[in-house]
Amino acid sequence: MSYVILNGMYKDDSFIPRVNKMVSEELQRSNYAGDTVILHDKEIKPCLGCFKCWVQTPGICIIDDYGREVAKRMIQSDVLVYITPINYGGYSAELKKALDRSIGLLSPFFRVHEKEIHHETRYNEYPNLVVIGTLEKPNAEQEEIFTSLVKRNVLNLFSEKYSSQVIYNDDDNTTITKKIERSLAIVGEGNE
Amino acid sequence: MNKQLTFLMCSPRGEKSASHSIGFYLTSLFEEKGISVNSFSVYQTLKIQEEIEEMIISINESDIILISSPLYIDQAPYMTIKTMNIITDSFQQGKISKKERHLFAISNAGYLEYYHNNIALKIYEQFAKENEIIWAGGLPIGAAGTHAQYPIPEFLKMLEPLPKEDPRHEIYTKPTKLLDSVIRTSVDHLCKGEIVPKEELQKLEFVPMPLEAYIEGGNNGWLEAAEKLGTTDKLRDKPYER
């Protein structure tokens, strides 16, 4: 079983590297093989909104940079992990830059899914999704938005199993470990 | 002194986008009411440091910030988030002073249903809260591609000659007139330094046509585009299949 962690931290973040390390170790303990992509280290240009990944070069972004590799790694993993500082309740700009470039993983065609319009799948299988957000301190409103965002993302990414978790910067290692274990257990077994 | 507004146009598609078309429609209404408007296309602005500084100066002097952005995977795209981060940093560095300032947002989804925009609008609200800006509300716009092709006033003029019984009135004229009315009322409130009442914005919370009809139209659009490019048989390719 394979995993990829998309790490959406900003350059000056000193907390997320610790969380990332603990997530990687837990995944490896559970016999997953994979690695982390530190997104701010990669050359990824912003999505042009051109939809050429849907109609001109179906499934492949026309921008030839690491954004293509991210999309490929996403769809080829069994477990996809996002780690991001929570920005106003949503994902970091760094994570979002990579995700915006991944829409070619879906078909352009629309369909009704869960009584709403969504895109059709391009692939037969999509990875299970674990999303870990970090906050300096508890923030009920932003945490609720973050949890809802992950749920909405799953409707668009077609993950069979998913979990979302918020970790605070002042959580101790035991708490962080428990939160990570809980998140990974959900995608490893039954869903929440 | 006249009120000032900073408009942040956040689509990478520039003039071809609904964010441009709807956003500039609002700014024209603000200007008619004597509001002074500075507009920034953030995909261009953020490439040049001097232009970023101009944007920050403009926000500092503004009473209203207007964001018009597309919806990419349930929230605003990268550049919109980056813009919000730059503004937040500028507040923290004291480059933007705290004063009574309103934020109004337009979120434009390609999907038919307005509610795909709900999370994006809540994120804008949190951005406002974090910077002590007054959240004045936002427009959750579905099927926004229509407005990219046809700006609201032109679209209404185009639909006017249709016979009364034409079904396009129900799915296009009625919702566009309602959107126009909500936009005008929102502009009125913002010009008076007021937030837009929730009941006004909630008028946009309806789905104007059966989902299947929108899907058929949208899917035919993709097929036509692919046909022109000679890629019809490749549309379902799986280039990264394991």
pLDDT tens-digit readout, A97-145: 999 999 999 999 999 999 999 999 999 999 999 999 999 999 999 999 9
- Residue A44 sits in which domain range? 2-188
Of B43, B74, B127, the CB nearest to A88: B127
Spatial contact of B108 and B138, defined as CB atoms under 8 Å apart: no
Which B-chain residues 218-237 have CB contacts (< 8 A) with chain A? 218-219, 222, 225-226, 229, 231, 234-237
Q: Per this entry, what is the length of chain A?
A: 192
Can you tell me the mean pLDDT for A82-90?
A: 98
Contacts A51 to B, Cβ<8 Å? 225
Residue A3 confidence (pLDDT):
97
Q: How far is CA A55 from the centre of its chain?
A: 25
Note the pTM of the prediction, 2 decimals: 0.96
Least confident of B105-114, B118-127, B144-153: B144-153
Residue A189 confidence (pLDDT):
62
| pLDDT at residue A90 tops 90 | yes
Can you tell me the mean pLDDT for A156-168?
A: 94
Contacts B73 to A, Cβ<8 Å? 99-100, 103, 153, 156
| pLDDT at residue A190 tops 60 | no
ipTM of the complex: 0.96
Contact A59 B237 (CB under 8 A): yes
Residue A192 confidence (pLDDT):
42
Structure tokens at A111: 């369909």
**SS3 sequence of chain A:** CEEEEEECCCCCCCCHHHHHHHHHHHHHHCCCEEEEEEHHHCCCCCCCCCCHHHHCCCCCCCCCCHHHHHHHHHHCCCEEEEEEECECCECCHHHHHHHHCCHHHEEEEEEEECCEEEEEECCCCCCEEEEEEEECCCCHHHHHHHHHHHHHHHHHHCCCCEEEEEEECCCCHHHHHHHHHHHHHHHHCCCC
Name beta bridge partners: A36.
A5
C-alpha–C-alpha distance, residues A41 and A38, integer Å: 6
| pLDDT at residue A191 tops 60 | no
First to last CA, chain A: 21
C-alpha–C-alpha distance, residues A38 and B234, integer Å: 32
Spatial contact of A61 and A53, defined as CB atoms under 8 Å apart: yes
Contact A46 B12 (CB under 8 A): yes
Residue B119 confidence (pLDDT):
98
In which residue are the tokens 């969380």 written? A19
Can you tell me the mean pLDDT for A81-106?
A: 98
CATH of the domain at A122: 3.40.50.360
Among residues B7, B13, B195, B14, the alpha carbon closest in space to that of B83 is found at B7
Among all residues of chain B, which has the CA nearest to that of A70? B240
Q: Kindly calculate the radius of gyration of chain A based on its CA atoms and give it in whole angstroms.
A: 16
Contacts A133 to B, Cβ<8 Å? none
CA torsion A114-A119-A124-A125 (nearest 10°) is -70
Least confident of A168-172, B150-154, B202-206: B150-154
Can you tell me the mean pLDDT for B127-144?
A: 97
Q: pLDDT tens across A69-83, in order?
A: 999 999 999 999 999
What is the assigned CATH class of domain B4-204? alpha beta
In which residue are the tokens 């780690």 written? A83
Contacts B232 to A, Cβ<8 Å? none
Can you tell me the mean pLDDT for A151-178?
A: 95
Spatial contact of B71 and B117, defined as CB atoms under 8 Å apart: yes
Going by DSSP bridges, is the β-strand pair A116-121/A106-113 parallel, antiparallel, or unpaired?
A: antiparallel
Can you tell me the mean pLDDT for B110-114?
A: 95
- Number of domains chain A contains: 1
Predicted confidence band at A188 (pLDDT cuts at 50, 70, 90)?
confident
Q: pLDDT tens across A32-63, in order?
A: 999 999 999 999 999 999 999 999 999 999 99
Q: How far is A174 from chain B (nearest CA, A)?
A: 30
